[in-house]
Amino acid sequence: MPTTENHDRSLSEVFASVRVPGPDASWLRRFLAFVGPGYLVSVGYMDPGNWATDLQGGARFGYTLLSVILLSNMMAILLQALSARLGIATGQDLAQACRAHFPRGISFLLWIACELAIIACDLAEVIGTAVALQLLFGLPLLAGALISALDAFLVLLLMGRGFRYLEAFIIALLAIIALCFAVQLAIATPPVAEILRGFIPRTQVVTDGAMLYIAIGIIGATVMPHNLYLHSSIVQTRDYARTPTGKREAIRFATLDSTIALTLALFINAAILIVAAAAFHTSGHADVADIADAYHLLAPILGAGIASTLFAVALLAAGTNSTITGTLAGQIVMEGFLHLKIPNWARRLLTRSLAIIPVVIATWLYGDRSVDELLLFSQVVLSMQLPFAVIPLVWFVSRRKLMGEFVISRLTAGAAWTVAGIILVLNFQLLYSSLAG
């Protein structure tokens, strides 16, 4: 089984840098040492791309698509647990495993697909940050997009102080987002019975083309391809014993960490859709699909001036958080697939620039209104890239030759391949619907 001695370490500058208390420490203290990576991963499940799809889903279809949010979150919990298992059991992140175990041509194609997913995700993050800065401070979208590039240096600053500082910063912003939406839910007072019915799956989601398009966007925005690469790397920042016993405990704690964090992501995604449904779906504003329109309409519809401000503050926190973790994922993918070693600042600035350029071009050619269509389209692109990350991950963790005693059970493998199948079917259905008009 591969170990860190026979291949390069993932994120070598922070590898095994977070101390884990010894076996004589309490269960809680040892678990808390593993808390952090799950929250970095959860950021991708509540980024501005989610806002676009959740807002449209709530405004147009009420609470119906809550079932899609729940399904996609359950899929995410399983896939992220498998990602953490791969990184801990083999010492390789997903990108390194693809490079080591696939032919060069297939590895190259997977790298291209992953880069497209990261660019699509970064588009959403840059747009979200720029829109939030425009709403709060009146900055032009172009200026806001360029300011978002500064996250590359924020990552350098925080990681230079230690990986725990980066995690603490992310968790603090997540707390702000959760608080903002908790207040908005209290103001909106949505009907509990309709919310509960919304979590029950309906065939209409698949048969209605417009609903399916947004549903696939929600899945693409929720189950993030690059997060599978990210999680398999950052779990290795813990200084756990690289022994079967140490790895077994690390897998258990990392899975618990990501499950709790993704439950928070479920609350926030559901809250966005619920607020949109309560404010817009029944008030004659079912056509609201623009984040800026939602910002301006929330206060008068809900009758509370603070609602719009909280919305924009949460959006800025989500955009900032997502740009940080997206940049980190870009580094992991570039190092893992290409074995490319360039200065940290240059690599992070490069990955951010690849996302900023399309936003600048779209805004310049088509104006500010173009960014919302670009935002939703980016989430559908993300969904189309999912199979290229999910299938290799499930294949790796199902192989005893690679995973050894940490290979997943047949039951878990069946669930994981079912998730991969659902993703493939939904994507084929989207393609068919698009081609058939």
Average pLDDT over residues 77-84: 96
Which residue type is seen at 356? I
CA-CA distance, 21 to 14, in Å (whole number)? 18
Q: Where are the domains of the chain?
A: 27-436
- State the pLDDT at residue 369: 60
384-409: b (≥16 Cβ within 10 Å) or e: bbbbbbbbbbbbbbbeeebbeebbbe
Identity of residue 196: L
Q: How far apart are the C-alpha atoms of 353 and 347, rounded to whole Å?
A: 10
Q: Where are the alpha helices (DSSP H) in 17-103?
A: 27-34, 37-43, 48-61, 66-90, 94-101
- Could you please state the CATH topology (level 3) that the domain comprising 27-436 is classified under: Amino acid/polyamine transporter I (1.20.1740)
At 285, give phi and psi (nearest 5°): -125, 40
Which stretch of 52-61, 245-254, 402-411 has the lowest confidence by average pLDDT? 52-61
Q: Which residues fall within 8 angstroms of residue 415, CB to CB, at 6 or more apart? A: 78
Q: What are phi and psi of 238, to 5 degrees?
A: -85, 140
Span 101-108, average pLDDT: 94
Give the mean pLDDT of 152-166.
82
| Predicted model pTM | 0.88
Tens-place pLDDT, residues 327-377: 788 888 888 998 876 776 676 677 667 667 766 776 676 666 666 667 667
- Calculate the alpha carbon distances from 9 to 163, 352, 369, 373 in Å: 15, 23, 43, 39
pLDDT value, residue 198: 95
pLDDT in tens, 168-212: 999 999 999 999 999 999 998 999 999 999 999 998 888 888 888
Q: Which of 67 and 361 is assigned the larger pLDDT?
A: 67
- 309-320 mean pLDDT: 89
List 238's β-bridge partners, or say none.
Answer: 18
- Helix count and strand count (H, E) for the chain: 21, 0
For residues 224 and 49, what is the distance between their CA atoms, to the nearest angstrom?
10
Instruction: DSSP for 329-390, please give it.
Output: HHHHHHHHHH-----HHHHHHHHHHHHHHHHHHHHHHH-TTHHHHHHHHHHHHHHHHTHHHH
Residue 6: per-residue pLDDT: 41
User: Looking at residue 322, what is its pLDDT?
Assistant: 82
> What length is written for the chain?
437
Of the two residues 327 and 242, the one the predictor is more confident about is 242
Mean pLDDT, rounded, for 415-433: 79
For residues 280 and 58, is the Cβ–Cβ distance under 8 A?
A: yes
Query: If you average pLDDT over residues 231-247, what whole number do you get?
Result: 95
pLDDT digit string (tens) for 285-297? Answer: 887 767 778 888 8
Q: Are 392 and 98 in contact (CB under 8 A)?
A: yes
Q: Are 71 and 220 in contact (CB under 8 A)?
A: no
How many angstroms separate the CA atoms of 165 and 67, rounded? 35
What's the average model confidence in pLDDT over 251-276? 94
Task: Give alpha helix (H) positions in 235-343.
Answer: 244-276, 291-302, 305-338
Tens digits of residue pLDDT in 39-62: 999 987 887 777 878 888 999 999
DSSP string covering 166-184, please?
Answer: HHHHHHHHHHHHHHHHHHH
Helix (H, G, I), strand (E, B) or coil at 399: coil
The tokens for 386 are 């999912």
Residues whose CB is less than 8 angstroms from the CB of residue 143 and which lie 6 or more positions away in sequence, other chains included: 130, 133
Lowest mean pLDDT among 69-78, 95-104, 148-157, 189-198: 148-157
Residue 137 pLDDT more than 80? yes
Task: Tell me how far apart the alpha carbons of residues 87 and 91 are, in angstroms, rounded to a whole number.
Answer: 5
**pLDDT band (50, 70, 90) for residue 152:** low
